[in-house]
Amino acid sequence: MKIESCFYHIDGDAKLLRVTMLHSWDLATTIAFCQLCNQCIKDDLQQEWAMLADLRHWCLSSEQACDQFYQHHKQCISSGLKHQAIILPKSNLKRWRIRSFVADDYGLNTIMSDTEEQAIAWLVEHKLLDPIYLVTQPNLNQPPAF
């Protein structure tokens, strides 16, 4: 399943959920993303799966959106998320908030990286992606053009 909007891109296959999150999200956007992600997880992913999350150009704009996203993340873990590669924004405050958000993800293998290449290399190293992925996937280091 592949879904694209001006706020997020979701792409799932048997072992990997790849998400790119963009701009500032309110509660309605967060709920829509969570529902689409849940559908992708149900339709496309195996019992155990990994996530590549590009958070470089994203933030939540309300406490309710943050609470909703936190609950969704915990549901992902219950649904088989075992490994997560997170590409961090440059802002120290946003980096700190993301790190504190995933701090209690016990049993989840996590890498926080500065680049997409680092995150993908980590997934390949842990045999969560085929090495061909390194040369066949588009570079997301630039924000998408709309």
CA distances from 131 to 31, 49, 101, 122, 145 (A): 34, 17, 30, 11, 27
Element (H, E) at 81: strand 81-87
CA distances from 77 to 15, 33, 43, 114, 134 (A): 14, 16, 16, 23, 26
What confidence tens digit (pLDDT) does each residue in 45-74 have? 988 999 999 999 999 899 999 999 999 999
Structure tokens at 75: 């549901």
Radius of gyration, CA atoms only, the chain: 14
Percent of the chain with pLDDT over 90: 68
User: Within 10 Å of residue 58's Cβ, how many Cβ atoms?
Assistant: 19
Fold of 2-136: Transcription Regulator spoIIAA (3.30.750)
The three-state secondary structure class of 129 is: coil
- Is the pLDDT at 143 greater than 80, yes or no? no
What confidence tens digit (pLDDT) does each residue in 25-36 have? 999 999 999 999
What confidence tens digit (pLDDT) does each residue in 109-125 have? 999 999 999 999 999 99
Angle, helices 63-78 vs 27-44, to 10°: value is 10
Domain boundaries in the chain?
2-136
